Amino acid sequence: MSRVPRLGLLLLVLVLGADQLVKWYVTGPLDISMPGDARTLLAIFDLRFSPNVGVSLGLLRADSATTRWALVALTGTIGLGVLVWMWRERGRVDQAALGCVAGGALGNILDRVRLGYVTDYADLHFGSWEPFLVFNLADAAITLGVLVLLVRALLIRDGRNGRDRRDTTEKANG
């Protein structure tokens, strides 16, 4: 029986809870709940309600009930794959990254099931230059988790046995 990925599960729950709490706060008490509603917090950051019926970069738009539930099924399947990976992963950093990805995915899936869209609200911009689409905490957690996994896969791990490359180099140089 594999070890329980406690850190990954903890981050999953924290990301999911924080994501849903912030979405509730933005659309509830702050009343930023209709397209066009916005509140400037900093010169470079606004809270802006933006219902997202697609996935990243507006791809796979779910404009009907059929496509909505197909997207829920697709993202749910991917999320389940991430959970299985997290459960099998032995490295704590990778478990943590996978927990962030899974928590973010579940937060967005929950929105899509309950509302028919994902609630995006974070608008980071620099004057008129907008390098990002409007996003949410779940999207940020997914992005952070994927970046950690990529950096570790491409720069740190030895592909043959998963050991840290620094350990292998230090032993070789001796």
Question: 6-27 vs 137-151: helix axis angle to the nearest 10?
Answer: 150
Gap between the Cα atoms of 45 and 108, Å rounded: 21
Which among 19, 139, 158, 164 is annotated as catalytic?
A: 139
Gap between the Cα atoms of 147 and 33, Å rounded: 30
Which among 19, 120, 158, 167 is annotated as catalytic?
A: 120
Gap between the Cα atoms of 64 and 53, Å rounded: 9
34-38: long-range contacts at Cβ-Cβ below 8 A with a sequence spacing of 24 or more? 38/123
- Is 31 a known active-site residue? no
- Is 120 a known active-site residue? yes
Gap between the Cα atoms of 51 and 133, Å rounded: 12
Give catalytic residue positions: 120, 139
